[in-house]
Amino acid sequence: MAQVLEFKLPDLGEGLTEAEIVRWLVAVGDVVAVDQPVVEVETAKAMVEVPCPYGGVVTARYGEEGTELPVGAPLITVAVGSPDSVGPAGEPAAEAEGSGNVLVGYGTQAPARRRRRVRAQVTTANGTAPTAPAPVPARAPVPPPAPVAPEPPAPSGPVPVISPLVRKLARDNGVDLHTLRGTGPDGLILRADVEAALRVEATAPAPASTTTADPEGTRIPLKGVRGAVAEKLSRSRREIPDATCWVDADATELLRARAAMNTAGAPKISLVALLARICAAALARFPELNSYVDTEAREVVRLPGVHLGFAAQTERGLVVPVVRDAHTRDAESLTAEFARLTEAARAGRLTPGELTGGTFTLNNYGVFGVDGSTPIINHPEAAMLGVGRIVPKPWVHEGELAVRQVVQLSLTFDHRVCDGGTAGGFLRYVADCVEQPAVLLRTI
């Protein structure tokens, strides 16, 4: 007899409590191996492929694509040990035990309770029942019944189906097996039950559409990355009394220094890496801005290391990957790490650990062709440096009017951690390094 094991949405780490189903990687009736990814989900942090710790035949999936499930909710059920859970080569499926695989802190393990069995008659290879007697007919012969709509809105258990042919027939024709009541032994769903459902569906009138156009516009749910961004920015606005200061800087010498670095034959240095190096040096001089406020303890916590977040726009929305220990990295290391994290962000492969733990954020909104902004602080950090586009402008240089490459820098800071003098000193030091990169030699 087959054991039907239920696999629940695991804890994905970083305090995440729910995930949205993006894409199912298996269908009902498919044979899965231990640790095979079965579904791709989107959390507020990243896209994750969830592996199943059991091997066998998928008997049920819970939730359609786009559905949000809480951690601990059922994902799929797998029939382990049944005759149909045999691979193409005739090899039996894996035993019903945990794989030992770890998914972001979640270790799969053997289930201790809640094992279910499919109490259905299993047919042999020649199509005959082994020894079980034929089912006793009802009082009078009746034609195959039409499918009965389920009373609850959502099923809570596995579908009593043994034959993969029945599953394929239902899947190919869009029949939800949960809505059928089987006429076979112990409620087993037979081919005739699926065919009867198809006949009823073909003769039933099309239901009237229940959707109506909203005269006020289209409603888009705030969920996934967009929902997480909305919640975090709203919290920042509620809790942080922020202020912004800005200054224009002549970036001509910084661009020349970068060009000189990139002609030496070594790996190319990105501009954002140089700006990150400047931020790390400025935070060493003004550590008040590398901190956060512990509201419960009413304390400002200054942090020893700089974990630099940077804003990255992706198809899924705005994300802020974090470069760990930015204060210990040189320009080459920073360039490589920025490139790696940016590529992972665009591909949706960032892990929750790569999206959390930042202490200061660098926001290069100049890539969007704008000069300035008053960004919202990435809660619970204390400050964010914004960098506008670098454009040629008239500028007084060495007493004469000249065309120089000018950039606007803005600093938004938490007024609880410092006053305007500290924020102004930080921003002025950053501007000095942009205008005269040799200033950085003091910190090397």
Q: How many CB atoms lie within 10 A of CB 207?
A: 6
Look at residue 268 in the predicted model and tell me its pLDDT: 92
**pLDDT band per the 50, 70, 90 thresholds, residue 178:** confident
> Among all residues, which ones are annotated catalytic?
415
Look at residue 104 in the predicted model and tell me its pLDDT: 41
End-to-end CA distance of the chain: 70
The closest of 93, 94, 82, 77 to 156, measured between CA atoms, is: 77
pLDDT tops 50 at residue 256: yes
**Would you say 3 and 96 are in contact if contact means Cβ atoms under 8 Å apart?**
yes
Tens digits of residue pLDDT in 431-442: 999 999 988 877
Using CA atoms, how far apart are residues 166 and 195, in angstroms rounded to an integer?
Answer: 10
| Cα distances (Å, whole numbers) of residue 341 to 48, 267, 269, 314, 351 | 16, 17, 16, 12, 10
pLDDT tops 50 at residue 22: yes
**pLDDT band per the 50, 70, 90 thresholds, residue 14:** low
Look at residue 402 in the predicted model and tell me its pLDDT: 96
Q: What is the mean pLDDT of residues 208-227?
A: 70
**pLDDT band per the 50, 70, 90 thresholds, residue 314:** confident
Using CA atoms, how far apart are residues 411 and 283, in angstroms rounded to an integer?
Answer: 13
Q: Tell me the average pLDDT of the chain.
A: 80
pLDDT tops 50 at residue 244: yes
pLDDT tops 50 at residue 186: yes
Bridge partners of 86? Answer: 92
pLDDT tops 90 at residue 319: no
pLDDT, greater one: 333 or 187: 333
Q: Which residue has the tokens 């726009």?
A: 313
Against a cut of 0.75, is the pTM above it? no
Look at residue 162 in the predicted model and tell me its pLDDT: 59
Q: What is the mean pLDDT of residues 147-164?
A: 52
Tens digits of residue pLDDT in 42-69: 776 677 788 999 899 999 999 888 888 8
Bridge partners of 403? Answer: 394
pLDDT tops 70 at residue 272: yes
| Cα distances (Å, whole numbers) of residue 427 to 194, 287, 421, 435 | 70, 13, 10, 12
